[in-house]
Amino acid sequence: MNLKISYKKANLCALALLILVGVGMLYFAKNIRETPGIRTLFITGPRFYPIALAVLMIVFCVISIVDTLKKPDKILEFPNAHKAVVTSIITAIWIALWQFMGYFYPISFVAMGIIMFYLNPAPASLRKFYSSLAYDCVIMTSIYLIFTIALKTNI
């Protein structure tokens, strides 16, 4: 499946989405509680940086929109677009299972193994399965060591 899309349309859609994210950041940042006694000359509390980042993101997106509209349009081709779609579907299923069932590590282990096996360009074989399993074990062990052991978080 070869996906063809206009550069301008793709860029404008992505920038519009980022502007919506920035507006959402502004909405949620205004609800951050101010801590008394933290005010200084320039920094006005814990909501300053999220609001500043959101405003900067919106401003740069508007500048990029103007720049995109000035450039000539061209057609972008995305070979193997189906791989991104399948990976997104597996990721959505992984998030849903994690939210409803819990068990982060077993669900993540299975999902990541499936994604690694699917995205590996080698033909399907026992060797491909074992290499995907090995990489999956290394990544999940690293996540476990970093988040559960080192940072003492409870995923």
Q: Is 70 exceeded by the pLDDT of residue 40? A: no
Q: Is the pTM of this model over 0.85?
A: no
Q: What is the largest CA-CA distance in the chain?
A: 64
Single-letter code of the amino acid located at 97: L
Which position has the higher pLDDT, 25 or 38? Answer: 25
Instruction: State which H helix or E strand residue 35 sits in.
Output: none
Which pLDDT does position 80 carry in this prediction?
85
Which pLDDT does position 135 carry in this prediction?
94
Spell out the domain ranges in the chain.
3-78, 81-150
CA distance 144 to 108: 11
Backbone torsions φ then ψ of 33, nearest 5 degrees: -70, 140
Averaged over 128-155, what is the pLDDT?
A: 88
Burial 76-100 (b: 16+ CB within 10 A, else e): eeeeeeeeeeeeeebeeebeebbee
Q: Calculate the alpha carbon distances from 74 to 10, 57, 116, 147 in Å.
A: 11, 25, 33, 44
- What's the pLDDT tens digit per position in 46-73? 778 888 999 999 999 999 999 999 999 9
State the DSSP string of 41-108: SS--STTHHHHHHHHHHHHHHHHHHHHHHHSPP-EEEETTHHHHHHHHHHHHHHHHHHHHH--HHHHH
Report the sign of the C-alpha dihedral through residues 58, 63, 68, 69, in that order: positive
